[in-house]
Structure 1
Amino acid sequence: MGLFLGRAYAEDGEWDLAMQMYTEALHYAKEYKVYNVAGYICTYMADLYHFKDMYNEIREKYAEASSLFSKAGNLKSQVYAMKNLAVEYAFIDSFLYAKKIMKKADSIASTLRLQIMDYNIANAYANIYDLQKRYDLAEKYYKKAISLDALHGMNDSIGLADIYVASGKIDLAKELIDKMILRDSLNYLLNELYVEIYKSKKDYKKALHFNEICFNISDSITIKQNKAKVFEIEKKYNHLKIQEENGRLKNAQQRFLIYFIITLAILIISSIVFYFYRKHTKMQLHWQEEKLYSLDKERSEIAAQLSEARHSLETIQEDRGENIRLQQKILSLSKKYKELQKQRLEGSAIYKKLSSLLVKPQPNNNKPLLTDKLWNMLVIELSRIYPGFRSSLYEQCPNLSEEECRYCHLHVLGFDGNNEAVLLNINPSSIWMKRTRIKQKLGSNLFKEQTLHNILVDTFLN
């Protein structure tokens, strides 16, 4: 995988990334003893070092590639690596060492008996002797290479023509170039050789002509290279833009995922807290109901005992002390019962809901906060806590309206006049008038000195 990624990066001109991929791939190839792949990676790394003129590293990688191909048993690739290594040593004038490497490569190639291998050996010797300026031997091996491989004949023919020019065989060079120029008239090297040939013949007019052709070819190549560079820059720019956009999208996706996880965690925690809160509230209400039921039952039993004691008191005077004790017990239990009823009322959902509405100001509100739904909840809750409250009101005052009856249910909660006015969305003065009117209906003489709240709590809730 790293090998193919490295090749892709190299083709895109991303040499540093390509080298990074090659280095990682080479490490794993050696670790798992995939020597053939490791050898190819080394040759690709040597190619990259050519772009950076890192000649020591080039030779190291070709030598390493040769060793790895040998371990893999890939003799053909080993010969190619050794040939490249020998030519690199020839470039630094280490001709003896280059020939030593070539002698070993030639020995291996001879066992393969492949024409392409013989061609590569001949081509390498030609290049080495050309660099050493031993033109007679270079000519020999160029001719041999041309005879072995017509596919590469053009390059070897140019090399041979260059040898002819360098060794003063001008006519042979011109004859060879005349044949090649028919196939490729815009070949820069061929036209450059024409310049050298006509300069040697002192035909400066023709030399100038071919020199101008070389300039035109060079300009054309430069323009193409510049266009290619511009295209490459645009390609890199677009690639960077895509990478930046991908990074931005990736960051956005990560932020969304983090927000989603946080939101989900908050929802889960809130659900758990709400569940336990509801469970605690239900348990508390259940406990209060059981407590009220227990006290109510005990109160009824004591009331029955008191009734029986009163009946017995008429016949047995000595039971007076016991009767008084029972009456005191009933009063004590009644007081506790009232307190529990009050606690249950203040802990009810409707009481808390109305309290929360009063805490949160609602400006520009022109409707009562107490909706029909909340009124129904209030009446039902009071009927549970004080079962005889509504019937007692109508028994005392049959002409009480439904609106006034509902207000009595609200007034029992103990809110002051201003709060009641807010809940009903009326003026506080209207609250005072409403209370006065209800007191009159309930019996003004009987409750003249008491507030409406005290009348409802002391008389009708009990």
Structure 2
Amino acid sequence: MADLYNFKNMPDEIRAKYTEASFLFAKAGNPKSQVYAMKNLAMEFAFVDSFSYAKKIMKEADSIASTLHIQRVDYNIANAYANIYDMQECYDLAEKYYKKAISLNTRHSMKDSMGLAGIYIASGKIKQAKELVDNMALHSPTAYGVNLLYGNIYKLTGNYEKALYFKEFCFEMVDSLTNAQSKAKILEVEKKYNHLKIQEENGRLKNARQRSFIYLIICVSLLIIGSIVFYFYRKHAKMQLHWQEEKLYSLDKERSEIAAQLSEARHSLETIQEDRGENIRLQQKILLLSEKYKELQKQRLESSAIYKKLSSLLAKPQPNNNKPLLTDKLWNTLVIELSRIYPDFRSSLYEQCPNLSEEECRYCHLHVLGFDGNNEAVLLNINPSSIWMKRTRIKQKLGRNLPKEQTLHNILVDTFLN
């Protein structure tokens, strides 16, 4: 964590984490890691010029390291001391610890030698610095640090031409490194841009595929649901139709039986006029059968498809309709259905009133359904007052001696629906 804070340049957090690490390593019985944590903590305090506290921590770390007898640990202690004294400008002590670090350095790193050369230059020991840099140049003649030290040495000795040469060489190295880093950064940015572009395109394609899949699932689901709903609707409609057919068949059968009984009773009444008691009984039976027969006919009429169709048309509001709801096709269906239930209705009308027009006859077929004047006006798309006039005119044609209080519907039902 301390190293991560170091990248973000958060010194307080760095010191806190190194302190915590030192405590935890000591608690875990890991003195080697504890020494490294304390060394890093001391360097952090040295960076903020707390040299006394840094050296106090280093002294404690050195005492622990001396018990380990690990050369790499001893090297890190010597290197830390050298850097602290270098920053404090205690060049003699810094020189001492740089030399110790060089002697303990198993990796042959030049950073301690460069640090020692810097100490020599700072303390005016130009000859020792030149010898040390010459020795480093044998292994790394193009190293930036080596050429920078050469430039400083020649500048102090007054050889400005060579000092300028090494300075320019260092600048060229820095420029070259900067250009290389810039190109690397550009390539990295381009790489990241291309990667992001590819990711974006892949994301777009993925989202498109997901949307297509979701749409497909929705469509399939709607199709399945629609099929299920249609299946049950059709099944329900078939059941309703079957039930309706059975009901109509039952009504027709019962109506036929009542008609047969009524015909038989009337025939019996004609043959036994002399028996008064039996005559009264048969008349009552005929009256009862007639009422039951009329009720069955009424039920049959109200259960018919045309009656339900007209009722459904009236149940739906038609605000902008300017045509009759009762079309020619529905008129024909109504006349046929009524002729099936009341076979003698049409002939009885014309027998009673030969001058009845076809339109008036059709209206009588509609009127026996029992709709009120407003509903009839809606079906015919005329004013309710016209319905009243039509009823009055037909009533007058059917008979002048009819009571005024008797409605046309009662006249048609009582007289013609047998």
TM-score range, shorter chain: 0.5 to 0.7
**What do residues 52-105 of structure 1 show as CA deviations (whole Å, max 9, x unaligned)?**
4x3333322322332333334333222222111111211222111111111121
Residues 1:166 and 2:135 aligned together = no
Residue in structure 2 matching 1:330, options 293, 302, 320: 293
Amino acid at match of 1:48: F
> Which residue, out of 143, 147, 170, partners 1:187?
143
Distance in structure 2 (CA, Å) of the matches to 1:79 and 1:86: 10
2:201 and 2:31 map into 1 onto residues whose CA distance is 48
Counterpart position of 2:415: none
* Counterpart contact for 2:79–2:98, Cα < 8 Å: yes
Distance 1:147 1:218 in 2: 31
For 1:71, the equivalent position in structure 2 comes to: 27
Q: What do residues 338-368 of structure 1 show as CA deviations (whole Å, max 9, x unaligned)?
A: 3322358849xxx99xxxxxxxxxxxxxxxx
For 1:314 and 1:277, the matched residues in 2 are separated by: 54
Matches within 5 A, 1:13-412: 42-49=1-8, 52=9, 54-242=10-198, 244-245=200-201, 248=204, 277-278=233-234, 281-282=237-238, 284-317=240-273, 318=279, 319-320=282-283, 322-343=285-306, 346=309, 412=332
| Count of paired positions | 329
1:296 maps to a residue whose letter is: D
Q: 1:152 to 1:274 in 2, by over 3 A?
A: farther
Code of the aligned partner of 2:4: M
- Could you say which structure has the greater relative contact order, defined with CA pairs below 8 angstroms and 6 or more residues apart? 2
Contact 1:145-1:153 at 8 Å conserved across structures: no
Q: Deviations over 1:288-318 (max 9, x none)?
A: 3343233123212212312322342342232
Root mean square deviation, CA, Å: 4.1
- C-alpha distance in 2, partners of 1:314/1:275? 58
Q: Which runs of 5+ in 1 are unaligned?
A: 1-41, 353-407, 416-445
Identity between Structure 1 and Structure 2 (%): 62
The residue type paired with residue 92 of structure 2 is D
Q: Which letter maps to 1:336?
A: Q
Letter in 1 for 2:292: K
Change (3 A) 1:342 1:410: closer
* CA 1:308–1:279: 2 relative to 1, 3 Å: same
My pick for the range that moved more, 67-76 or 156-165, is: 67-76
Task: Evaluate the alpha carbon distance shift between residue 293 and residue 239 of structure 1 in structure 2; reply closer, same or farther with a 3 A threshold.
Answer: same
CA pair 343-284 structure 1, distance change in 2 beyond 3 A = farther
- TM-score calculated relative to the size of structure 2: 0.66
1:118-151 deviations in Å (ceiling 9; x for gaps): 1111111111111111112111211111121231
What amino acid is aligned across from residue 6 of structure 2 in structure 1?
D
Is the 1:285–1:344 Cα contact (8 Å) retained in structure 2? no
Deviations 1:412-458 (A, max 9, x none): 4469xxxxxxxxxxxxxxxxxxxxxxxxxxxxxx9x9758x96xx99
Greater shift after overlay, 218-227 or 280-289? 280-289
For structure 2, the residue ranges without an aligned partner over 5 or more in a row are 274-278, 314-327, 336-353, 367-417
Q: Secondary structure at the match of 2:106?
A: coil
Provide the rounded CA distance (Å) in 1 between the counterparts of 2:308 and 2:270.
40
C-alpha spacing 1:93/1:325, structure 2 compared with 1 (3 Å): closer
Q: In the superposition, relative to structure 1, how do residues 79 and 298 fare at CA in structure 2: closer, same or farther (>3 Å)?
A: same
Specify the alignment match of 1:367 in structure 2.
none
Larger radius of gyration: 2
Q: Secondary structure at the residue paired with 1:333?
A: helix
